[in-house]
Amino acid sequence: MLSRAMAALQDRPVLFKYTLDEYGTARRTAVVRCFIDALTRGGPGGTPRPIELHSHDPVRYVGDMLAWLHQAIASEKELLHSLLRLSSSSDQQIEKEILSHITEGTGGAGHCSEPGAMLLFSLANILKFYGTTIGSLIDEDATVTVTILDMNALALKMFFNSLNCHASTLLEKIELPPPDLSPTESLKETMSLLKDVLASHDASVIPLDARQADYSRIISCLIDPLHSDVFTLSASSLNASGHGWLYMINCIHQIQRHVSGLRFYR
């Protein structure tokens, strides 16, 4: 009946648009209310559990919120399509504009502290995936889409700032090579961080090709300072004994051993 009524209103464009605006406002209120309930109360009978219970785990917390939004937007799109299925003036642009209005209330600004590099990288991957996925369902300029992509950019910026700070710390205090010419502890810690970050692509939902540029930048942030300054300065203390090149070979081997098993490297 509603779809037939909307089809009949097409002959009166002003009323047709007014009805769609009112529909969008009503659904926006309903979606915001359901979103708040999902955050604080959970589903019927407490299943699923409130999303807020996972606020101590930022990756799970953000992922659950975005998954709920994605499901809600898909449901709203199906409902709207059913409402306008008999309307000849129905098109994707109209639907996206209405969906954009419906989801405006869920696109509030997020707050971010200064977590570790691994956490920031995981958050950036999740935000990028859902920003792209949700953007394909609604208008790319929708508030919720813009908010998610802005948070993705912020997470990536903070992530690379964290890597740069790590590299700066290494340059401020150059470790002397140990007696056995093995890599220093700072190099081992850096390689462990690099391996954890790059290996996280296995759990990421973003296609590998879309992350190649990020990988190159990550490696540059961590490896270039080591190669150009740390290795050179550390090895210079061994030049008199002729062991400088041996130490650098050991360091390069350490790097190669950590990254050679990763999928992006092969």
C-alpha pair distances (Å), 249 with each of 30, 228, 243, 244, 246: 63, 14, 10, 9, 5
Are 3 and 82 in contact, with CB atoms under 8 Å apart? yes
Which pLDDT score, from 0 to 100, does residue 113 have? Answer: 56
41 Cβ partners below 8 Å, 6+ apart? 50
Structure tokens at 135: 């953007």
C-alpha distance from residue 16 to each of 9, 77, 171, 248, 258 (Å):
5, 18, 66, 73, 62
**Contact at 8 Å (CB) between 100 and 128?**
no
Using alpha carbons only, give the angle 114, 163, 225 rounded to the nearest 5 degrees: 155
Please return the burial class of 236, using the count of CB atoms within 10 Å of its CB with bins 0-12, 13-18 and 19+: exposed
**Structure tokens, 108:** 């509030």
Return the pLDDT at 261.
61
Q: pLDDT in tens for each of the 266 residues of the chain?
A: 788 888 888 888 889 889 999 999 999 999 999 999 999 999 888 788 999 999 889 989 999 999 999 999 999 999 998 998 887 765 677 888 899 999 988 876 455 555 788 889 889 989 989 998 999 888 788 889 999 999 999 999 999 999 888 888 877 777 777 888 888 888 888 888 888 887 776 566 676 676 677 777 888 888 877 766 556 655 565 555 567 777 778 888 888 887 776 555 54
Distance CA 98, CA 139 (A): 9
In 3D space, the residue among 37, 2, 32 whose CA is nearest the CA of residue 20 turns out to be: 2
